[in-house]
């Protein structure tokens, strides 16, 4: 093998090493569970529940800017800024004049609307 050929082989090896190092660095790093934002599909379902799927709809009674809702029976959610847990609790059990939705909405729908309200009011940011 000539010196040039050896140099080329050496360079190739280095390039391969860099390539694999870069691929490794670009691999998705698993995030901590609590840092994972709700999936877009969850937020879309939550919006749907807020506007339509819940009967009566949350929007009938609550103001929420993100959903263009201006209900005035319950608290203005943009001001209350409840976290997802607080929303889910109120939705499951009802509160005062607010009816319970447990059994009417599925768990997935309740969690989705809770995430949607928390994220769109900034409570989950
Ligand atoms: C019939 C009207 C009505 C509907 C429909 C309704 N709410 Fe309410 N909601 C209220 C009222 C009234 C309160 C205040 C209850 C109280 O504090 O006595 C309230 C309270 C809340 C609270 C605050 C809970 C707390 O801990 O203070 C949240 C969050 C909430 N509603 C979210 C929702 C969501 C999400 C939906 C749809 C699944 C919904 N609401 C549907 C009337 C309604």
**Residue spans per domain, the chain:** 3-30, 34-121
Q: Which CATH architecture has domain 34-121?
A: Orthogonal Bundle (1.10)
Question: Token digits for 22?
Answer: 């870069």
pTM metric for this prediction: 0.78
Q: What is the pLDDT of residues 15-46, one digit of tens each?
A: 555 445 444 555 555 545 556 788 999 999 99
Q: Is 92 exposed, middle or buried (0-12, 13-18, 19+ CB in 10 A)?
A: middle
Structure tokens at 24: 């490794």
Per-residue pLDDT of the chain (125 residues; tens, 9 = 90+): 555 554 455 554 555 554 454 445 555 555 455 567 889 999 999 999 999 999 999 999 999 999 999 999 999 999 999 999 999 999 999 999 999 999 999 999 999 999 999 999 998 76
C-beta of residue 70 within 8 angstroms of C-beta of residue 63: yes
List, chain by chain if needed, residues with CB within 6 Å of any ligand 1 atom.
54, 56, 58, 60-62, 73-75, 80, 82, 86-87, 90-91, 95-98, 101, 113, 117
């Amino acid at each position: 093998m000539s010196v040039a050929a050896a140099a080329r082989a050496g360079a190739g090896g280095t390039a391969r090493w860099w390539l694999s190092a870069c691929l490794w660095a670009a691999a998705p790093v698993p995030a901590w569970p609590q840092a994972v934002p709700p999936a877009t599909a969850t937020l879309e379902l939550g919006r749907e529940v807020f506007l339509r799927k819940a009967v009566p709809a949350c929007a009938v009674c609550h103001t929420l800017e993100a959903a263009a809702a201006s209900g005035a029976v319950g608290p203005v959610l943009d001001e209350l800024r409840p976290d997802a847990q607080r929303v889910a609790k109120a939705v499951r059990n009802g509160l005062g004049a607010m009816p319970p939705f447990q059994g009417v909405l599925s768990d997935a729908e309740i969690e989705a609307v809770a995430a949607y309200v928390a994220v769109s009011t900034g409570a989950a940011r």
